[in-house]
Amino acid sequence: MEFTKMHGLGNDFIVVYGEQELPADASERAIELCSRFFGIGADGLVYILPSEVADFKMRIMNSDGSEAEQCGNAIRCVAKYVYDKGYISQEEITIETLGAGVQPLTLQLEDGKVKTVRVDMGAPVLEGLQVPTTVDANPVIHHPVEVGGQAFRFTAVSMGNPHCVIYVDDAVGFDLSTWGPLLETHPLFPKKINVEFATVQRRDYIDMRVWERGAGPTLACGTGACATLVSSVLNGTSDRAATVSLKGGDLFIEWDEDSNHVFMTGPAAFVFEGNVD
């Protein structure tokens, strides 16, 4: 199997092109190949597939073998891959996702290669039961949750995949490994949850660290950055456009008031190519 290793702000993926459909053993492949000690090493395994409704389809397997409905960093990697490899020539493309439908992307070029990608991430889902959580409210803001004897409050947002955003005094230094897994699997979240810990530094700048469902701590999460911006607007602490600073770098997120769509702009990069049995 030929593959390309890519990353979006350090959130890294094994990208595979050429399959006609998702392999039956994709889950097992992801567990094996994403291992950083026994495999290639990555946060996820991404398949670029044919689509009947968009230019391409993206399917993402997390490192634990579960499937992600959407991934903001992966979709930017897919866009860079198909353009830089010559599989598409236009700068406006569409990619079909499992959880967020067809998403339009604008490729921003430098020296004939994709430097950054602006993605229309669609409208956020704020109804608690649809995120999903077990909380029947719309929206779910500042809702209490207790794990390990510690009380938190979260705002729930779906960007095609589920997120809970929790505000802390110091997101950069927050203990992800203790609280992330406890919150991910809390009974309030029937399909588990991506957990963002955020600190609003200014109305246009937010620090965020993430515990990703199915992958654990990652250097960046595009959908998580979008959810954090939406949550911060709902909580009255940020403007509708802001830089969200993650461990691997910054994403610029906009929540357009007229369309209700969220837009994400950020880079993607190649690391290396290879093949594996």
At 112, is the pLDDT very low, low, confident or very high (cuts 50, 70, 90)? very high
Among 132, 136, 104, which Cα is nearest to 120's? 104
Is 11 annotated as belonging to a binding site?
yes
Give the largest Cα separation in the chain, rounded. Answer: 54
Question: Which residue ranges form the domains of the chain, and what is each CATH number?
Answer: 2-121+266-275 (3.10.310.10), 128-260 (3.10.310.10)
Which residue is listed with tokens 């600190």? 199
Among 264, 25, 273, which Cα is nearest to 121's? 264
The answer to whether the peptide bond before residue 132 is cis (omega within 30 degrees of 0) is: yes
According to the model, what pLDDT value does residue 253 have?
Answer: 98
Which residue is listed with tokens 């406890």? 182
Q: Is the pLDDT of residue 190 over 90?
A: yes
All residues at 6 or more sequence positions from 71 whose CB lies less than 8 Å from its CB, including other chains = 11, 44, 46, 60, 161, 221, 222, 223
- Catalytic site positions: 71, 221
Is 265 annotated as belonging to a binding site?
no
Please write the tens of the pLDDT for every residue from 40-91. Answer: 999 999 999 999 999 999 999 999 999 999 999 999 999 999 999 999 999 9
Centre a 10 Å sphere on the Cβ of residue 24 and count the other Cβ atoms it contains: 8
**Mean pLDDT in residue range 208-224:** 97
**CA separation for the pair 167, 6 (Å, rounded):** 30
At 277, is the pLDDT very low, low, confident or very high (cuts 50, 70, 90)? confident
| Full-model pTM | 0.94
Is 260 annotated as belonging to a binding site?
no
According to the model, what pLDDT value does residue 41 have?
Answer: 98
**CA separation for the pair 140, 161 (Å, rounded):** 15
| Rounded (10°) CA dihedral 264, 270, 273, 276 | -30
